[in-house]
A and B are shown apart, each in its own frame.
Chain A
Amino acid sequence: MESNLKNENKIIIKPPRSSVGILGWVRENLFSSPFNTVLTLIIATILWFSIIPFLQWAFIDSCWLPDSNCRETNGACWSVISSNYKIILFGFYPQNILWRPITAIILLVSLLIISRNRNYWNKILGYSWIISLVIMGILLKGGIFGLEPVDIEKWGGIILTLLLSVFGLTAAYPLGILLALGRQSKMPVIKTFSVFYIELIRGVPLISLLFMSSVVFPLFLPEGVSINGILRAQVAIIIFTAAYIAEVVRGGLQGMNKGQFEAADSLGLNYSKTMRLIILPQALKIVIPPSVSVLISAFKDTSLVVIIGLYDLLKTTQSTLSEPKWMGFSAEAYIFIAIIYFVCCFFMSNYSRKLEKELDTGL
Chain B
Amino acid sequence: MKFTKFVIVCLTVLMFAAVSFAGTLEDVKAKGYIQVGVNGSVFGFGKADDKGVWKGLDVDCARALSVAVFGSPDKLKFTPLTAKTRFTALQSGEIDVLFRNCTQTLSRDSALGLDFCVVNYYDGQGFLINKKLGVKSAKELDGATVCVLPGTTTELNVADYFRTNGMKMNPVVIENTAELNKAFFAGRCDCLTSDASQLAGQRAVAPNPADYMILPEIISKEPLAPAVRHGDNKWKDIVNYSVLTLINAEEFGITSKNVDKMLKSTNPKIKRFLGVTKGNGKALGLDEDFAYKIIKMVGNYGEIFERNVGVNTQLGIERGLNALWTDGGLMYSPPFK
A contact set with B: CB distance below 8 Å: 83-84, 86-87, 91-95, 151, 153, 211, 214-216, 218-219, 221-226, 229, 307-309, 311, 315, 318-325, 327-328, 330
Contacts and interface: CB of A to CB of B under 8 A. Distances in A.
Nearest to A324: B314
A222 B17 contact: yes
Contacts of A214: 85, 88
Interface string B182-205: 100100000000000000011011
Interface residues of B, number: 43
Contacts of A307: 82, 84
Nearest to B206: A328
Contacts of B50: 83-84, 86-87, 320, 323
B302 interface: no
Contacts of B22: 224
Contacts of A91: 52
A223 B18 contact: yes
A323 B47 CA distance: 8
B207 interface: yes
A31 B27 CA distance: 78
B326 interface: no
A222 B18 CA distance: 5
B52 A95 contact: yes
Contacts of B178: 318, 321-322, 327-328, 330
Interface stretch (B35-43, B135-143, B214-222, B317-325): B35-43
A225 to B, nearest CB: 8
Given A219-B91, A223-B93, A330-B179, 15 more contacts: A87-B50, A215-B84, A218-B89, A218-B94, A222-B17, A222-B18, A223-B18, A225-B93, A229-B79, A307-B82, A308-B82, A322-B42, A322-B43, A322-B47, A324-B205
A92 B77 contact: no
Contacts of A94: 52
Contacts of B18: 222-223
Given A86-B50, A214-B88, A323-B43, A153 B176 contact: no
A173 B51 CA distance: 37
B188 to A, nearest CB: 14
Interface string B82-115: 1011001101111000000000000000000000
B48 interface: yes
A319 B48 contact: yes
Contact of A318 (B43, B176, B204): B176
Top 9 A-B pairs, shortest CB-CB distance: A218-B92, A222-B17, A327-B205, A324-B314, A321-B178, A322-B41, A223-B21, A215-B88, A92-B52
Contacts of B92: 218-219, 221, 223, 226
Contacts of B157: none
Nearest to B204: A324
Contacts of B93: 218, 221, 223-226
Interface string B30-63: 0000000000111100011111100000000000
B40 A330 contact: no
Given A321-B178, A325-B314, A328-B207, A308 B85 contact: yes
B81 A219 contact: no
Interface of B: 14, 17-18, 21-22, 27, 40-43, 47-52, 77, 79-82, 84-85, 88-89, 91-94, 176-179, 181-182, 185, 201-202, 204-205, 207, 314-315
Contact of A309 (B27, B85, B205): B85
Nearest to A232: B94
B198 to A, nearest CB: 10
A6 to B, nearest CB: 68
B59 to A, nearest CB: 13
A84 B49 CA distance: 9
A328 B205 contact: yes
Contacts of B176: 318
B85 A215 contact: yes
Contact of A324 (B51, B88, B89, B315): B315
Contacts of A325: 314
Nearest to B95: A226
Residue among B77, B80, B88 facing the most chain A CB atoms (10 A cut-off): B80
Contacts of A222: 14, 17-18, 21
11 contacts: A86-B51, A153-B79, A222-B21, A224-B93, A226-B94, A318-B176, A319-B41, A324-B204, A327-B181, A327-B202, A330-B178
A324 B207 contact: no
A324 B43 contact: yes
Contacts of B91: 218-219
A229 B94 contact: yes
A16 B202 CA distance: 65
A11 B51 CA distance: 73
Contacts of A224: 17, 21-22, 27, 93
A223 B43 contact: no
A250 B17 CA distance: 43
B40 A319 contact: yes
A208 B51 CA distance: 33
A35 to B, nearest CB: 38
Contacts of A92: 48, 52
Contacts of B179: 330
A208 to B, nearest CB: 12
A95 B81 contact: no
A211 B18 CA distance: 23
Nearest to A71: B207
A311 B47 CA distance: 12
